Structure formats: C-alpha cells, structure tokens
A and B are shown apart, each in its own frame.
Chain A
Amino acid sequence: FRMADKPIWEQIGSSFVQHYYQLFDTDRTQLGAIYIDASCLTWEGQQFQGKAAIVEKLSSLPFQKIAHSITAQDHQPTPDSCILSMVVGQLKADVLPQVLGFQQSVLLKRCKEARVCTSEVFRLGLHNMG
C-alpha cells in the first residue's frame, strides 16, 4: 500500500504506534517525550497520572527485553480533532514463559508540531493468543 493514500488520521496513528512500540522495545525510558502532565495511563487496571508517574511505571516494569508485534490496528479521528487508536497484538518478554496477547488504546492530541498521548489504556490478554 502507499501511505499517502491513507486518510491522515491513519497515517498519524500508525506512525505513532510504530514509533511507540519501537521505543518501548528498545529503550522505554525514552517514552517520556510522548506524554504530558495531563496524560493518563491505565496499566492493567491501575491508574497513573502525568508524564513522570507514567514514565516511572513503564521504566520499572520488571523485564529487560520485550518485543511487541501488532496483529491489528485501527485509527479514527475524534470530534475534538484528536486521533483514537486501538491496537491488538502479542508480546514476548524475557520474564514471561510464553507469548501473551495484549490490547492497547491511545488518544493522540496535537501539541505544537507533535502529537502527544493524553490517554492510554493497556491490558494483557488473559489467555495466550497463540
């Protein structure tokens, strides 16, 4: 496919998602740039408010190596000119005995020239998706 043929929200959403998992899998301490003080993360049912708390949570997750693979992603524009993205995929971390499924959603807001993530929700699939 050609990226240019996709609606703008799909281009932005899929670029963000690609960037996010690439950062997450290589050096997740760098994720701070995508959050602001108004950002909220719900990680496995626990809430974290603001860039500092979110980065602390993500940096202190108990694994060294992780690899995400995206099974499906959907992107939509919202009434308030944000972009809403839902990702379904699988992940493998060194501390986990097996591949696990996950679901993640992000709400992206324009902030100066960049997009920041103001809302994020993450859940592991309860059962192995493989």
Chain B
Amino acid sequence: IMENKPVWEQIGAGFVQHYYQQFDTNRVLLADLYTDASCLTWEGQGFQGKNAIMEKLTNLPFQKIQHSITAQDHQPTPDSCVISMVVGQLKVDDDPVMGFHQLFLLKNIDNKWICSNDMFRLALHNFGC
C-alpha cells in the first residue's frame, strides 16, 4: 500500500513510474521533468540543461521502446532531495532485450519534483531471461 511507504519512496516510485511511462509512449513529454540546471549522462556522454537533454532523448534512433523495471531503490538525501536507482530491461524496436542501469536525483522546485541529475547506462551484457 503506497501510503505505508516512507514519503521518499512514494516520491521516487511515483517519479520512476511516470518517467518510463512517458519515455515509452511519448518522450517529448519528458521535458517537464528537467530544468536548465539538469544534467544527463547518457552512455558516458554529458548533456547540460533541458534543451540539450531533450534533444538527445528525442533523437534517440528508435521507433518503439519499452522499459521494465527489475528493481528500484529510493533514499532521502541530507539536502531534501531523493535518490532513485533503477535496474531493469528494455526492448527497442526488434532488437533483443537489454539490461540497463539508471540513477536519478530528484529535487523539489515550486512544489514539483524535477530531475536535476540523470545517469543512464546499458548493461554491457544481455541480462538474459
């Protein structure tokens, strides 16, 4: 029951669910989750600010993508942010399923939780089944 979980888990889990749902259906809408101070590291490449991040995400070379979360962990930070670490699998177009790792730092700005830091890595080897 969501209400029984610590508030940072509710925030983190809510964000993560929303993020991947948007990513998988219409990733243009992810723009709402970043600000000009946000950083993304995508497979080792750095992108600074909402515009650069959205350009990267919207230009990723696939038509269809589907994420599935294997595990997620959420923690409060001393500065009232939330850290969320996700491990899961994704399927792009007709490619084989691949594992991925992602880390988010969430910050509350004007009563909205945005992503200030985002790191994404594919798992080097197929997680298999």
Pairing of A with B: yes
**Contact code string B72-90 (vs A, CB < 8 Å = 1, else 0):** 0101111101010101000
Distance from A19 Cβ to chain B, minimum over Cβ atoms (Å): 20
**Binding-face segment, A24-32, A56-64, A81-89:** A81-89
Cα A129 to Cα B128 with chains together (Å):
9
List B contacts of A78 (CB < 8 A): 79, 81, 105, 116-117
Contact B101 A107 (CB under 8 A): no
Chain A residues whose C-beta falls within 8 Å of the C-beta of B99 in the assembled complex: 125, 127
**Chain B binding surface SS class:** strand
B46 to chain A, nearest CB (A): 8
B58 interfacial by beta-carbon distance below 8 Å: no
Among residues of A, the one whose C-beta sits closest to the C-beta of B102 is A86
Contact assessment for B77 and A129 in the assembled complex, using a CB-CB cutoff below 8 Å: no
Given the interface pairs A38-B78, A86-B101, A127-B128, the reply to whether A79 lies near B44 with Cβ below 8 Å is no
Tell me if A14 counts as interface (CB < 8 A to partner B).
Answer: no
Contacts of A74 in B (CB 8 A): 41, 44, 103, 119, 121
Q: Give me the interface of B with A, judged by CB distance under 8 Å.
A: 37, 39, 41, 44, 46, 70-71, 73, 75-79, 81, 83, 85, 87, 99, 101, 103, 105, 107, 116-117, 119, 121, 123-125, 127-128
Q: Which residues of A contact B70 (CB under 8 A)?
A: 126
Give the Cβ gap from B75 to chain A, nearest Cβ, in Å.
5
Which A62-93 residues sit within 8 Å CB-CB of chain B?
71-72, 74, 76-80, 82, 84, 86, 88
Decide yes or no: A40 and B75 within 8 Å by CB, A74-B44, A74-B121 being known contacts: yes
Report whether B73 and A123 are in contact in the complex, using a CB–CB cutoff of 8 Å: yes
- Chain B residue, CB-CB nearest to A81: B79
Q: Which residues of B contact A72 (CB under 8 A)?
A: 44, 121, 124
Given the known inter-chain contacts A45-B73, A121-B73, A121-B75, please indicate yes or no for A76 contacting B119, CB distance below 8 A. yes
CA distance A45 to B70 in the complex (A): 12
